[in-house]
Amino acid sequence: MIKIIFHLLNIIFVFLYVYPGSLLGFLIYKDFSKQPQLTSDFFTLSSNHVYAFLLLSILGLISYFKSLKKIILYLISISIILESLHLFIPNRSFQFSDLFGNIVGVLVPIFILIVFNFWRKNEFI
């Protein structure tokens, strides 16, 4: 079930990222140019992007735990590629704060997984 949710979320992300305008802004504000903001940004990181890729990464790491290297490579790649597409999509803009938010959203669950695995291995020594 988690794999299905992960794949659905991937499809939704790709659609939202490549659509020339903000579909969420249209649904909430009736304005394609407005982007809903869940919380204020973290320093130079887009909080929305951190939350989105945090969720995607957690689901991906759980779904493909046995193929850890592949899923980590996929998650990092998709976070960079989707934001880079904004260089070419009309009415969208590439922003480093969004890119860094994507990457942090991917790296935090990976870091937590590494710490958890390290702690679990050393717990019984």
Residue closest to 82 by CA, chosen among 58, 56, 108, 62: 56
Instruction: Tell me the pTM.
Output: 0.86
Mean pLDDT of 82-87: 95
Partnered with residue 45 across adjacent β-strands are 42
Map out the domains of the chain as residue ranges.
2-123
- Tokens 């929305």, located at residue: 48
Q: Which pLDDT does position 37 carry in this prediction? A: 74
Q: Which pLDDT does position 29 carry in this prediction? A: 81
Res 39 pLDDT > 90: no
Mean pLDDT of 34-60: 88
Tell me which amino acid residue 27 is.
L
Q: DSSP of 32-71, one letter per residue?
A: TT----SS--BTTB-HHHHHHHHHHHHHHHHHTGGGHHHH
Residue closest to 47 by CA, chosen among 116, 102, 112, 124: 102
How far apart (Å, rounded) are the C-alpha atoms in residues 50 and 11?
A: 18
Residue closest to 61 by CA, chosen among 106, 15, 125, 11: 106
